[in-house]
Structure 1
């Protein structure tokens, strides 16, 4: 947690010890769903292993993915109730077996009251999360599926350092707020253009620059 929280350098030794001592390990099996919002507070979470996905769901059951947290990421969304007016009503799901370090609401409240640096850091991080979530919604509303899908594939390759994205069409559709059938059709167009190669449960990117430039 020391490497993920640069603000620890602006905290007194007793404050650092209090935070680190109360960072408790928790595990969430794949598929575990948690609520966020003004009335729910899981605590400040550092993802040690796995992936958490923040999403909203319409009355019709359509999901819009807002944020994804991977190993090494810090989620302040799960502690949003501490930040008063800055929160969003959404759901968090463990996309795979996930282990996190959690700092409880009680400890976090105490430290934020005592240390302005920590308080400012968490507010800035929350604003960053909200900005990224808004950007995700804007993409769903204003960008074509081909542009969202190509951007997603390239971004995943850069994040993992691999040319192969190990996700199914259904998983990708959830991340993009689209339908599996629509994603499958667009993948076929990418494959026909020689940009990707379809594999079982995965997509191999052959031409990242071509994907970004694709306008078909």
Structure 2
């Protein structure tokens, strides 16, 4: 899989712009847990994921994390180049959730091309609007949905990502995704277990009754 086949507006670039990108492109392989971008002080560039999984999250003053979105094969991470957009002021941290292969377009290179190319500028605006929608959806979940519904939705999403009913995930990890405390998540999962929805063991959650989870998520 080549960069040219994944980058959405590649065919709308001129030869000079294509050469600028290819000449500065940096291919990377990173291990699970690698921190790729750490807030506004960091401007790594635009990430294009060849394979793997990234997580974008924010951190509270108390040190609590909450996931704002996740990125998968062929997704593009724009907030890792947030320095090219003056309106982006919040601190976003991006880490690898799985071993990941990606390409990095340096921020200045992308910014120059965006200023020259209407298709790239339009695509960038669409991408930013999509990420803003993700953040608004998250805000809606936090404000209007109870934690049991959010945990149910997360377990279903994780099962879909992994294509499995047995999830290798800790209560602490779920708490970080949902912006909660581990103890609160543990109590909720134990309630699910008492209801016959899941089975818990160390570092593993097995979904026993997907239908009940779906009903809980969408009553």
- TM-score, length of structure 1 as denominator length: 0.87
Q: SS where residue 194 of structure 1 aligns?
A: coil
**Number of residues paired by the alignment?**
215
Partner in structure 1 of residue 24 of structure 2? 22
- 1:31-50 matches, within 5 Å, as 31-33=33-35, 34-37=37-40, 39-50=41-52
Please tell me whether the aligned partners of residues 66 and 137 of structure 1 are also in contact (alpha carbons under 8 angstroms). Answer: no
- 1:84-103 matches, within 5 Å, as 84-103=86-105
Partner in structure 2 of residue 197 of structure 1? 199
Which deviates more, 196-205 or 150-159? 196-205
| Runs of 5+ consecutive residues of structure 1 not aligned to the other structure | none
Assess, with a 3 A threshold, how the Cα gap between structure 1 residues 149 and 82 changes in structure 2: closer, same or farther: same
Partner in structure 1 of residue 108 of structure 2? 106
Q: SS where residue 4 of structure 2 aligns?
A: coil
Partner in structure 2 of residue 171 of structure 1? 173
Assess, with a 3 A threshold, how the Cα gap between structure 1 residues 147 and 3 changes in structure 2: closer, same or farther: farther
Q: Aligned partners of 2:152 and 2:193: how far apart in 1?
A: 12
Partner in structure 2 of residue 70 of structure 1? 72
| Runs of 5+ consecutive residues of structure 2 not aligned to the other structure | none
- TM-score, length of structure 2 as denominator length: 0.86
Partner in structure 2 of residue 81 of structure 1? 83
**Could you say what the CA RMSD is over the residues aligned between the two structures, in angstroms?**
2.3
Please tell me whether the aligned partners of residues 33 and 96 of structure 2 are also in contact (alpha carbons under 8 angstroms). Answer: yes
Please tell me whether the aligned partners of residues 197 and 207 of structure 2 are also in contact (alpha carbons under 8 angstroms). Answer: yes
Please tell me whether the aligned partners of residues 53 and 93 of structure 1 are also in contact (alpha carbons under 8 angstroms). Answer: yes
Assess, with a 3 A threshold, how the Cα gap between structure 1 residues 190 and 76 changes in structure 2: closer, same or farther: same
